[in-house]
Amino acid sequence: MDKKTEIIIPPMSARALVVAKGETLRIVDVDGRQPGDLVVFNADDLAERFSQSRTRVENRKIKITTGDRLWTNTQPPKVMFTIAKDTCGAHDLLYTPCCRYALETRFGVSRDGCLEHLAEALDPWGIGVNDIPDPLNLFFDVAVSTAGDIVIREPTSKPDGHIDLRAEMDCLAAVSTCSVPLSGKANSAYRLEVFSGT
C-alpha cells in the first residue's frame, strides 16, 4: 500500500478528511489507551451517514473488529467501511460522543468534548452539532452486565495500536481524540494515515 496522507490529531481535538472508495484509513492510537470517536458521511450525499444502531444490528455486536462493517442510515443500508485490520478488538457501538454537557455534569471539567470538536472539524462541509451521528467509539471497551448495566472497561490499546478501515464508498470521515479525563495518563494524540492500493 502507498501512503497518501498523514494527519496528526492533537489531544482533545478532531480532524476531517475525504477517503476515496478503495483507499484505507488507518487510525493510530499513538500513546495507547486513548479513546476517540469516528463519524462518517457519504462524501457525495451528506444526508447519508454512519448509523451506530444499524451497524450494531447488521454485525449483531456491541463492539466491532476485523471483518466487521460500518453501515449507513439509509434504506436499503449500504456499507461505508470494512475493518480490514484491528490490533485492539474493542471499538464500542453503544456510547454517544462526549460533549460539554457530559464533561461538566459527570466529570466536573469545563471544556468542549468530541461532539463539539467533530462539528468544528466538519464545519467546512456545513455539518453542525445537531448533524453529528452517534459514533463508532474507537479504542473504547464497553460491556453490558447480565442486569443490563453498561460497564466501561479499562482501555486495552497499546502504543501505536491501530484500526484499518477500507472505504467501500467515497467517505467524509471525522475522527476525534476524546476529552474525557483518563485515569493514570494524559489525553493523547492519534495519527491518521490514508493508503491507496491493497
CA distance 118 to 96: 12
CB 179 to Zn ion: min, Å: 5
Rank residues 17 and 180 by Cβ distance to Zn ion and give the closer one. 180
Which candidate, 38, 42, 25, places its Cα nearest to that of 95?
A: 38
Amino acid at 155: P
CB 8 to Zn ion: min, Å: 18
CB 187 to Zn ion: min, Å: 10
Cβ atoms within 10 Å of 154's Cβ, excluding its own: 8
CB 137 to Zn ion: min, Å: 8
- Using CB under 5 A as the binding rule, the residues of this chain from 26 to 85 that contact Zn ion are none
Applying CB under 5 A, the span of 38-46, 86-94, 111-119, 143-151 interacting with Zn ion comes to: 111-119
CB 175 to Zn ion: min, Å: 11
CB 45 to Zn ion: min, Å: 27
Applying CB under 5 A, the span of 72-80, 150-158, 161-169, 172-180 interacting with Zn ion comes to: 172-180
Applying CB under 5 A, the span of 5-13, 76-84, 152-160, 175-183 interacting with Zn ion comes to: 175-183
Q: Can you tell me which of 114, 119, 138, 163 binds Zn ion, judged by CB under 5 A?
A: 114
Q: What is the DSSP string of the chain?
A: -EEEEEEEE-TT-EEEEEE-TT-EEEEEESSSS--EEEEEEETTEEEEEB-HHHHHHHHT-SB--TT-EEEBSSSS--EEEEEEEESS--BBSSPPPP-HHHHHHHH---S--HHHHHHHHHGGGT--GGGPPPPEEETB-EEE-TTS-EEEPPP-PPTTEEEEEEESS-EEEEEEE--S--TTS----EEEEEEE--
Which candidate, 73, 13, 64, places its Cα nearest to that of 46?
A: 73
Residue 174 in contact with Zn ion, rule: CB under 5 A: no
Residue 99 in contact with Zn ion, rule: CB under 5 A: no
Residue 178 in contact with Zn ion, rule: CB under 5 A: yes
Q: Can you tell me which of 19, 38, 90, 98 binds Zn ion, judged by CB under 5 A?
A: 98
Applying CB under 5 A, the span of 25-33, 92-100, 124-132, 166-174 interacting with Zn ion comes to: 92-100
* Residue numbers at the binding site for Zn ion (CB under 5 A): 98, 114, 178
